[in-house]
Structures are given as C-alpha cells and as structure tokens.
Amino acid sequence: MRAVISTTLCATALLASCDDDARRDILDTPAQPDAGPQRPPDPAAAAATAMFDEGRTIFRHDTFGDEAFWGGQLRLHEAIAGEANGGVGPGVSPTAALGLGLKVDAEALPADVVAALEAGQVNLDDPATTLLLLRADAVLGVKGFFAADDGPIESIGITCAFCHSTVDDSFAPGIGARLDGWPNRDLDVGAIILAAPDLTPYTTLLGVDEATVRTVLSAWGPGKFDAELILDGKGFRPDGKTAATLLPPAFGLAGVNLHTYTGWGSVPYWNAFVANLLMMGSGTFYDPRLDDATKFPIAAANQFGHRRSTPDLITSKLPPLHFYQLGLPPPPAPAGSFDAAAAERGGALFTGKARCAECHVPPLYTDPGWNLHTPAEIGIDSFQADRSPDERYRTTPLRGAWSHAKGGYYHDGRFPDLAAVVAHYNAHFRLGLTDAEQADLVEFVKSL
C-alpha cells in the first residue's frame, strides 16, 4: 500500500518529493499478488531516478574545473589555510567561515568529528579545523583539492550548492542537513572573494584598480551576487546602491519558461552560462547576444558568447543538472506558519480583485508562456532589466516564497517583506485593497 501511495505522490512531482525509500519502492516493489498481472519494471522510471541522482551529485559536488580560477588564479585556498597550514595570512577558522555564511553538511561529518563537536573538543577558531571539514567534503558548495589524504590543500573550487543551498540548522546554527535549491541568504560572496590573496583576475577583467574591486564587492553584502558585473562592469546603480541581486531559489522551476530575474533564458541556458562565465569552469558557451558592445562591453571584448575552453567539463553535465533542478519541489509552508482562514480569503483576492493571477497564474504562479514584463508594468525602475537582453523582469514563481524572506523581495530585495510588496501593488495598480485585504493576500502568498 505504501508503495502505491508513494508512487502516485512521487509521479506527480517528477520523483523529487520522494525520499530515497519511496523512490526505491517505486522501482523495486514487485506488483502486489492481488494487483493483476505482474508488471515488468519500468526502464524509463529507473533511468529517471539515475538521472536525478546524477544531477544531484553534479549540483552538490561538481566544480566543472573551476578550481583553476578560484584556487589557481585567486589562490583562495591559501587564504583559507593560513600561514600555519602552508597558506597566507591568519587563515579562515570555522567560526569565521560560518560568519561569512558558509554552511556545514552535518551528514558528511565523520563520526569522530561529530562526537568531538558534541563534546566541545573541536577548536572552531583554528583554520586547521576548516581544512578538516573541507577534506570531509562537508562545506556546502566548496570543494578542497588536497595533495594526498593527509597532504596540504592545493586548490579550491565552488559548486552550484555554494549559492543555491543551505542547511536546516538541525545540529547547530549553520550546521545541519542539506536543503538543495534554497538560496543561501547568509552567504557573503563578495567578502569571500575579497579574502583572496590575488584579485588581479577581477582588476584585469574589469579594467579597474584593486580599490575599486574592493568597493564594488564589499557593497554586495549577505545573500547577494552580481551575475552581470563581468558582462557590463556596472558595480552600482544610479541611486548609488549595489548592482547585485539576491541569490534566488533553484527549486520550483518546472514548467517555468524563462529564468533569472530578467529572463535570460531557460534553465539549461543559464546553467551553461553560470558554469562557464561565473564559476569559471572549463566548457563551451554560445550566446551572440553578448557581442553587443554597448550593453555588454566586457563580455563583448572578451568574446564571452563564444567560449570554448578545453576540456569541456560542462556540456555533458547539462542534461542531469537540468533534470535535477526541475525535480526540486518548492518546500511546502510549515503548518502553523500562516493563518489558514486568512489565506483562503487572500486566495480569492489573488485571482480576483487584486489581479495578481493575471501574471502569477496558479499553480505555476508565473505566466505560462513568455513570462516577462516591462519595468513600467510592475512599477519599478529599469536598471536591472536594462542589463539583460530583453530589458524586462520575469514574473517570479511564488511557490516557496515564504522560505526566502531573509533579504527581502523583488530582485534586489527592495521590499523588506510581503506586506511591502502587496502595498506596492495596491498603490501601483490602484487596487483599492483595505488593510485587512492586504493582510489576507500576504497570508495567501505565505501559504504557497
């Protein structure tokens, strides 16, 4: 019976909502004796599970060879190790790493380390402990390369999990079980890059001095990154604030056409973009839109739209990586985290008087089709939209929005909470919603 229930549930969510047991049930459970003729195992389901698992491994652990950049060029591993461990400077202790928003996968910790941690016998102020965590592959999205099992650290790379996953804090703050697809809104990517002993890769690329690179990257702050900086070199908006955007979730993307805040392309388009141009992995990337020297001066000068680095460690990973992300469901709102009666009233407003469903069409909560809108349509400035090919904003799919309240809402977090988003729409669309109606709408969005 359990297998039957989980088969139904799991099939509706591309296997992603299944725990490993449920998935095994689907694949391994022989037909019930009274369930009619024996059904042969479904090879397509087995292939789907294998592809999902492969995608997860890539998402969590694959650097696509980007250690040539993060270790080889920025020499970040030397700053982490510190002088006492063959690197430079004071090193980065686990306490400092957690302070930068890095997260630790409790399940990857060796049993003796867990026991020592519980007994308070681990020195969290010693960079050598950080190296121990890296050796256990326990720091989310950061992969250390060591000379030998007990040799010194030789390089470091990052994976998709660096920005698009966090932990549930079940062991301690910043230490727990992985939550793939959740944006890490604590992660200070700018500060991490600035810890590198050598910033010349950025000064050379952007054509500015080190002080300018420091000013730009230190303005990002936790939970933000600027994916367009290396295309157009814009560090700040006209209003003086950072040009960086919030790290978005990488769950709940199935059925959504265009991705990123400004709709650069499909999931596999963006995955190839990120792995090649942001993580600086080794691979192939084609996008002649980046030849526009007015809009993307740095990308055009560096031929970013025509990248062919060998060996290609990216292209073969795109199918499973795509599949895995489509299979990551948005996390359901925890029971008790919203007022159910208010949410029900809010749902009626969402599709009715408040007109939200004109763009956020349930159950996708983005527009089925070409899901982009002009800045004027949603009543905000065009700065970030203008940095993208279509000069529009993509209707954000709203499922799981409750889970990334930290950092605020909209691409740059300009609205501190959902109430501020709703108040903005109420004014912009002249909806005439009462305070109570606005509160109900907020409860509805929190329930998605």
Binding site for ligand HEC (CB under 6 A): 158, 160, 162-164, 189, 225, 227-228, 245, 247-248, 250, 253, 259-262, 267, 270-271, 274-275, 278-279, 321, 325, 354-356, 358-360, 373, 377-378, 380, 393-396, 398, 401, 409-411, 418, 421-422, 425, 441, 445
| Amino acid identity for residue 196 in this structure | A
Q: Which CB, 275 or 439, lies closer to ligand HEC?
A: 275
Beta-strand relationship, 142-146 and 245-246: unpaired
Cross-strand partners of 242 = 236
Give least dist CB 296 to ligand HEC, A.
13
Q: Which CB, 176 or 249, lies closer to ligand HEC?
A: 249
Q: Which CB, 25 or 232, lies closer to ligand HEC?
A: 232
DSSP letter for 100, please. Answer: T
Q: Which CB, 3 or 243, lies closer to ligand HEC?
A: 243
Give least dist CB 327 to ligand HEC, A.
13
Q: Which CB, 253 or 342, lies closer to ligand HEC?
A: 253
Give least dist CB 62 to ligand HEC, A.
8
Nearest-angstrom CA–CA distance, 78 and 347? 53
What is the four-CA torsion angle of 115, 121, 127, 130, rounded to 10 degrees?
Answer: 10
DSSP letter for 276, please. Answer: I
Q: Which CB, 108 or 378, lies closer to ligand HEC?
A: 378
Cross-strand partners of 360 = none
Nearest-angstrom CA–CA distance, 302 and 205? 8
Give least dist CB 151 to ligand HEC, A.
27
Rg of the chain over CA atoms, in angstroms? 23
Q: Which CB, 171 or 402, lies closer to ligand HEC?
A: 402
Quick one: which of 396, 397, 402 has its CA closest to 338?
Answer: 402
Give least dist CB 262 to ligand HEC, A.
6
Give least dist CB 359 to ligand HEC, A.
3
Give least dist CB 46 to ligand HEC, A.
24
Q: Which CB, 237 or 373, lies closer to ligand HEC?
A: 373
Quick one: which of 182, 187, 98, 218 has its CA closest to 405?
Answer: 182
The label of the residue with tokens 């250390």 reads 144
Structure tokens given for 441: 């709408």
CA angle 133, 139, 141 (to 5 degrees): 150
Q: Which CB, 70 or 171, lies closer to ligand HEC?
A: 70
Quick one: which of 92, 66, 68 has its CA closest to 79?
Answer: 92
Answer for the pair 281, 162: CB distance below 8 angstroms, yes or no.
no
Give least dist CB 13 to ligand HEC, A.
17
Q: Which residues make Cβ contacts (< 8 Å) with residue 382, sequence separation at least 6? A: 374, 375, 391
Nearest-angstrom CA–CA distance, 278 and 272? 10
Give least dist CB 75 to ligand HEC, A.
18
Answer for the pair 401, 448: CB distance below 8 angstroms, yes or no.
yes
Q: Which CB, 117 or 279, lies closer to ligand HEC?
A: 279
Give least dist CB 391 to ligand HEC, A.
12
Alpha helices per DSSP H over 182-281: 189-194, 200-206, 210-218, 229-232, 267-273
